[in-house]
């Protein structure tokens, strides 16, 4: 992992790309390595520019962000993809996460949220904000099983691991979990890895969804 985070911006709207570029160029630890206006161009630029994080729009011409995300993650599992979406999340955005994206970023996000999302994704600490998670589950909750197959695996979690799992479900980052539980961030990372392994969750995003599916996170 390098000190500078290499970012590729993918969006078919030039003004969106320009806005993100202006914000990110002001950050000393972030470097824009390219801009793409569709999925096909994004795949080519990932090959040539080797970004650490891709900001990926979902609805684009020629190739949408879903297929592009799946192909990028399949070829470059170390690259993190953060999906760009509106507050009214749709099935396209949800499918992008299932394709391997690290999380959502709302297009109307504050600049601090944008930079935080990029840094979190780069650190392998991507998460879904509570309002995004709630909206996603409101949209697709009817199609989810009443009890997730991973539920029995909760019995294999230690008390501390269960606390970490619940904190993940609430959308907390490793640093926030460490502060809440009075442990170091490195200790939290160890617990997170064990939680994901025991629940057979692909990544942190899936763990958030599992926590909500299991009814462990209060609806409010």
Is residue 216 scored above 60 in pLDDT? yes
User: Can you give the residue range of the structural domain that contains 36?
Assistant: 5-126
Is there a single domain that holds both residue 41 and residue 116?
A: yes
Is residue 105 scored above 90 in pLDDT? no
Using the 3D structure, point to which of 67, 94, 126 is the last residue of a domain.
126
Is there a single domain that holds both residue 85 and residue 165?
A: no
Q: Which of 34, 31, 47, 35 is nearest to 11 (CA)?
A: 35
Is there a single domain that holds both residue 20 and residue 121?
A: yes
109-137: average pLDDT: 77
The CATH number of whichever domain residue 100 belongs to comes to 3.40.50.2300
Count CA atoms within 13 Å of residue 159 on its CB side.
Answer: 1
- Determine which of 16-30, 134-148, 179-193 has the lowest per-residue pLDDT on average: 134-148
Inter-residue contact 128 to 205 (CB < 8 Å): yes
Is there a single domain that holds both residue 106 and residue 152?
A: no
The domain tally of the chain equals: 2
Q: Which of 7, 10, 169 is nearest to 83 (CA)?
A: 10
Is there a single domain that holds both residue 122 and residue 188?
A: no
Using the 3D structure, point to which of 95, 126, 157 is the last residue of a domain.
126
pLDDT for 1 equals 45
In sequence order, what E strands does the chain have? Answer: 5-10, 30-36, 53-57, 80-85, 103-106
134 within some domain? no
pLDDT digits 0-9 by tens, 31-90: 999 999 999 999 999 999 999 999 999 889 999 999 999 999 999 989 999 988 776 666
Q: Of the spans 42-51, 91-100, 122-131, which averages the highest pLDDT?
A: 42-51
Mean pLDDT of the chain: 85
| CA–CA dist 154, 158 (Å, integer) | 9
Is there a single domain that holds both residue 200 and residue 157?
A: yes
| CA–CA dist 180, 60 (Å, integer) | 40
95 within some domain? yes
Query: Residues 188-197: contacts with CB within 8 Å, 24+ apart?
Result: 188/164, 191/160, 191/161, 191/164, 192/164, 192/168, 194/161, 195/157, 195/161, 195/164, 195/165, 195/168
Is residue 140 scored above 90 in pLDDT? no
């Amino acid at each position: 992992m390098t000190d500078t985070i290499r970012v590729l911006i993918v969006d078919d709207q030039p003004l969106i790309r320009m806005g993100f570029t202006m914000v990110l160029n002001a950050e000393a630890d972030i470097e824009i390595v390219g801009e793409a206006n569709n999925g096909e161009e994004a795949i080519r630029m990932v090959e040539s520019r080797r970004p650490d994080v891709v900001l990926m729009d979902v609805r684009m011409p020629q190739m949408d962000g879903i297929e592009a995300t799946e192909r990028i993650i399949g070829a470059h599992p170390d690259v993190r993809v953060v999906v760009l979406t509106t507050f009214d999340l749709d099935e396209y955005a949800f499918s992008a996460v299932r394709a391997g994206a690290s999380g959502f970023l709302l297009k109307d996000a504050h600049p601090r949220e944008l930079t935080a999302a990029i840094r979190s994704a780069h650190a392998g600490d991507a998460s879904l904000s509570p309002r995004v998670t709630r909206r996603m589950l409101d949209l697709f909750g009817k199609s989810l099983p009443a009890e997730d197959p991973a539920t029995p695996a909760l019995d294999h979690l230690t008390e501390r691991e269960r606390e970490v799992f619940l904190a993940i479900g609430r959308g907390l980052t490793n640093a926030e979990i460490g502060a809440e539980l009075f442990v170091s961030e490195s200790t939290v990372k160890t617990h997170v890895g064990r939680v994901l392994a025991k629940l057979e969750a692909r990544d942190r995003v899936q763990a958030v969804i599992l926590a909500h599916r299991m009814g462990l996170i209060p609806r409010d």
